[in-house]
């Protein structure tokens, strides 16, 4: 079961994705470092929540490799 994110976290994450789409990926650790650089002064908890939401959004946008293999072989 996932956690509920506040509207503030979602709003900041969507703005970062809109302004810096090339800085993020499906990797949480990479996103965490990118958020840390882009948002100075955010607490570690808020930074992790934003990075986690961005990771979730990118995971839903890009099909995983197993989904691509299934569609190609079928």
**Low-confidence spans in the chain with pLDDT less than 50:** none
CATH of the domain at 40: 1.10.60.20
CA–CA distance, 49 with 2 (Å, rounded to integer): 12
Measuring CA to CA, which residue among 65, 18, 68, 47 is closest to residue 57? 18
Per the structure, the count of domains in the chain is: 1
pLDDT of 73 reads 59
Measuring CA to CA, which residue among 46, 33, 39, 48 is closest to residue 15? 39
Is the residue at 72 inside a domain?
Answer: no
Contact, 45 vs 68, CB < 8 A? Answer: no
**Tokens encoding 20:** 């810096």
pTM for the structure as a whole: 0.78
For 48, phi and psi rounded to 5 degrees? Answer: -65, -35
Is the residue at 74 inside a domain?
Answer: no
* Structural domain boundaries enclosing 29: 7-65
pLDDT of 22 reads 95
Is the residue at 33 inside a domain?
Answer: yes
């Amino acid at each position: 079961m996932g956690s509920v994110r506040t509207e503030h976290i979602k709003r900041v994450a969507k703005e970062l994705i809109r302004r810096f789409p090339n800085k993020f990926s499906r990797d949480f650790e990479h996103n965490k470092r990118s958020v840390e650089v882009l948002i100075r002064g955010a607490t570690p908890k808020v930074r992790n929540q934003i990075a986690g939401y961005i990771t979730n959004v990118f995971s839903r946008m890009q099909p995983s490799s197993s989904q691509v293999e299934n569609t190609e072989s079928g």
